[in-house]
Structure 1
């Protein structure tokens, strides 16, 4: 299933100290999880007895009842193709341990005791429980089975690549270096936390941050399952707030204070996690510390079928754009300021007096112009240190021409208009090219003429040419080599096309510009993307639409993210695209543009190998000095053969 495994958190109804009732509720939750096709399921801490039994934990009937209940659950799930973590007290070595029991198909794979025992504020666990560090035995006969016990257990699936499970219990997560950190270093990709976290004002937010941070640091999936409202309310209230997180992203959570049992499940991407660990070369360095855990016992198990009907997680169709609209403003502000600061610093360092930029009336040059203007504001110098140049050619339309002029005027910069028609015609004559032949020579002559003008104007004005090309164009090679491909600082080099659009819209509605300038930006946003290198149609409208030629940028940005960020196979990229773009593109269309992406990405690397400087603003960058190093003559055969089979 493309590296996905479905994991779940179950918060059953509960009665304190009633192991028989709790067993039945746990089995009900397991049946519900089966309906949801869950393969790894986690219950709360001490879920067989209840966390709030207090001194009843000294009672033999309770301990015996919990053991018998676990035995019954193991027998009842002998044919259940699922790994199940249940909380249970275990008496051993003259002590009592708060344990997580992991079961699979009727077998108790192991018992993992809690390591850090809280004894502060409302917690008095040391009165009843010992730490895993006090454990003497390594095995125990429990619930009718001979079972390994210890905090040094990891559980590995024989037949599911990348699935290795580590367990910890509640407080273990809240210490400076949780046990799960070391479990992750030794390969655990799915971390389960059986918890009884009582509810306090503002604690849910902190809990989300804690789980998210641990999943991010461990490059792992993390399931935090907390006790529900059936626990005693004598001194605290438990809400059942449970979370499923993957590499810092919260995929799902339960409803707090629900009176009914709940099972929440999501698909986590094991392939993504293992790829991320390989990329982050500092991930394993923690093991060089002298106090690092040095040894784990590995217990194996098998899952018979990890398929599912549909993907139980959201797949964003715009992975470069925040899905949470509440964070969009701060994200745009951050990215825009990176661009502005990078350009301002380069202007200072080179002692440039002028920022020279070609303005076409399109999206990319508009964003670069806005960055240039704000760089002057940032440096405290007049905006007339920006020289905007519009260079009408054979494909320029009235709409883009007037938008370019009006936008420059509304921003208060220097403006020049230099037609490239005569220069291009002279060049055609010089090289013997028929101007009625609208081929690549016809198009690239215009792009290179514009670049020459900008470079020479920069020399005249002690200036610096600001590049406008974006990350998506660099991925596709949609730029004229030594034409718009070249500049002295490319402010958009780390910004994909879908994010360029978001940033321009953000500036337009921010209220920081005049009403006229904002209106122009909105019209630019409505203008088809085009290099305008071919003559307009009979109505004077754009006749050359980029997305008709290379494919929709929303698809290419999606492909770019999945392929470069995670290194996925073509079939998985297609599968994810089908999930993200349901009802908008059929499979044949997705395959067509995916193959085009691979083809162009490989053959156009030579353009990326000699990029101008520019700021990295997000997780991906194609600069040969930063994130991406690739031979310009690398073969695409492996990728294209896979893509052809789709």
Structure 2
């Protein structure tokens, strides 16, 4: 699973996006991963706002998707990316799953986030047809690469030779009718969640509790990838990528970091899911009256040699204190905003009051993070002049 800081694609094709996506996939493959999950709307960026109305945003997203399909880096690994797609003249926030230059399925978001800072219903429609799948006609530029005219579009899951994978998107996890509930009852073993969840005080606690609860109730493996960084807006997306199994967290990503790309991986045993469900959930695991539409793919996430690999064991999540969150969140946002603006630095007026003193502390926190990243040899700063 990969978490990366993405730039939006508005009016031009972003080489930075392509670089970050391929780098995260390359790192995931080097760790032996067979499935790479990226954050919500990673191809264009979550904060495009009314640029989502522009057809150029959709066009350039497909141009980036084509580059990813053509790249040799994306071969022999299932890649799960996010982008806006128009189907029957309706815009949807979608996940696109592809393997070896073939698009496997497109899954539109079914439950929108439209509270607080979120305004998804302004730009997207939700897919309200549970368990329904239609044919999506691919743009010509994608047809030339994949050799496909149409692909499945809708509420469907991916069935490999050894397991079944279902998708959730951000707010769907927080909803009382989360898709993972029905998918779990229908035998889906791996749930993925591509998110664009911004930083709020103690919000990481809520994410961890929701994911632990989801896999405690019905078993399963849960992959969570979140945007990280400033997406050109006033909010900071704070990562917190994680992998969970049967109610336990087994891998944790950083919440506050200046790295452009972060990849976390985990090796898990599918038999642990089946044993857990057989022991704990058996009386309630019944066939759904309307089963998930399964898209079959001739691919395995496991191999015969995997029995010798050690599996990841449960870990205790290291939560930041509220004081650390207050210091680190705004500091990371400041640095990201500074480098995206192309400016040389900030002007920090000091009046001696509590406001300017607090701001100075946050700027100091930013400088400490930058110096630490440079000392650690982060490649993100190799081209940066401070």
2:102 match: 107
Q: Please give the alpha-carbon distance, in whole angstroms, between the structure 1 residues aligned to 2:124 and 2:265.
A: 31
1:599 match: none
1:297 match: 294
Asked whether the 8 Å contact 1:154–1:165 carries over to 2, the reply is yes
Listed as ranges, the matches of 1:224-623 within 5 Å are: 224-234=224-234, 236-260=235-259, 261-279=261-279, 280-285=281-286, 287=288, 293-303=290-300, 306=303, 307=305, 311=309, 313-315=311-313
What's the offset of the Cα at 1:230?
4.2
Q: Please give the alpha-carbon distance, in whole angstroms, between the structure 2 residues aligned to 1:120 and 1:310.
A: 47
Distance 1:77 1:188, change over 3 A: farther
CA-to-aligned-CA distance 1:318-376 (integer Å, 9 cap, x gap): xxxxx7699xxxxxxxxxxxxxxxxxxxxxxxxxxxxxxxxxxxxxxxxxxxxxxxxxx
1:531 match: none
Asked whether the 8 Å contact 2:3–2:263 carries over to 1, the reply is yes
**Among candidates 6, 13, 18, match of residue 5 of structure 2:** 13
**Among candidates 156, 161, 166, match of residue 159 of structure 2:** 156
Compare CA radii of gyration and give the structure with the larger one: 1
What's the offset of the Cα at 1:79?
6.6
What's the offset of the Cα at 1:286?
8.1
Asked whether the 8 Å contact 1:90–1:97 carries over to 2, the reply is yes
Q: Please give the alpha-carbon distance, in whole angstroms, between the structure 1 residues aligned to 2:199 and 2:266.
A: 24
Q: Is 1:133 aligned to 2:125, yes or no? A: no
In structure 2, the residue corresponding to 1:132 is in which secondary structure?
coil
Q: Please give the alpha-carbon distance, in whole angstroms, between the structure 2 residues aligned to 1:117 and 1:325.
A: 28
Listed as ranges, the matches of 1:146-225 within 5 Å are: 146-151=150-155, 153-158=156-161, 160=162, 163-225=163-225
Distance 1:295 1:211, change over 3 A: closer
Distance 1:304 1:195, change over 3 A: closer
Distance 1:74 1:309, change over 3 A: farther
Gaps of 5+ in 1: 1-8, 317-322, 327-646
What's the offset of the Cα at 1:22?
1.2
CA-to-aligned-CA distance 1:468-512 (integer Å, 9 cap, x gap): xxxxxxxxxxxxxxxxxxxxxxxxxxxxxxxxxxxxxxxxxxxxx
Asked whether the 8 Å contact 1:168–1:180 carries over to 2, the reply is yes
**Among candidates 35, 58, 65, match of residue 63 of structure 1:** 58
What's the offset of the Cα at 1:300?
2.3
Distance 1:264 1:309, change over 3 A: farther
Q: Is 1:116 aligned to 2:117, yes or no? A: no
What's the offset of the Cα at 1:16?
2.1
Q: Please give the alpha-carbon distance, in whole angstroms, between the structure 2 residues aligned to 1:252 and 1:50.
A: 25
Asked whether the 8 Å contact 1:79–1:105 carries over to 2, the reply is yes
Asked whether the 8 Å contact 2:105–2:151 carries over to 1, the reply is yes
Q: Which has the higher contact order (CA 8 A, sep 6+)?
A: 2
Asked whether the 8 Å contact 1:78–1:107 carries over to 2, the reply is no
What's the offset of the Cα at 1:281?
1.9
Q: Please give the alpha-carbon distance, in whole angstroms, between the structure 1 residues aligned to 2:116 and 2:207.
A: 17
Asked whether the 8 Å contact 2:26–2:73 carries over to 1, the reply is no
Q: Please give the alpha-carbon distance, in whole angstroms, between the structure 1 residues aligned to 2:311 and 2:25.
A: 20
RMSD between aligned residues: 2.5
What's the offset of the Cα at 1:19?
4.1
CA-to-aligned-CA distance 1:213-250 (integer Å, 9 cap, x gap): 1122231100110011042332x210122111001100
Asked whether the 8 Å contact 2:104–2:295 carries over to 1, the reply is no
What's the offset of the Cα at 1:25?
1.0
In structure 1, the residue corresponding to 2:237 is in which secondary structure?
coil
Higher strand proportion (structure 1 or 2)? 2
CA-to-aligned-CA distance 1:588-633 (integer Å, 9 cap, x gap): xxxxxxxxxxxxxxxxxxxxxxxxxxxxxxxxxxxxxxxxxxxxxx
Distance 1:324 1:182, change over 3 A: closer
Distance 1:57 1:312, change over 3 A: farther
What's the offset of the Cα at 1:175?
0.5
In structure 2, the residue corresponding to 1:149 is in which secondary structure?
strand
Distance 1:216 1:97, change over 3 A: same
Gaps of 5+ in 2: 319-386
What's the offset of the Cα at 1:69?
1.2
Q: Please give the alpha-carbon distance, in whole angstroms, between the structure 2 residues aligned to 1:274 and 1:309.
A: 16
CA-to-aligned-CA distance 1:444-468 (integer Å, 9 cap, x gap): xxxxxxxxxxxxxxxxxxxxxxxxx
What's the offset of the Cα at 1:283?
3.1
In structure 2, the residue corresponding to 1:140 is in which secondary structure?
strand
Asked whether the 8 Å contact 2:165–2:188 carries over to 1, the reply is yes
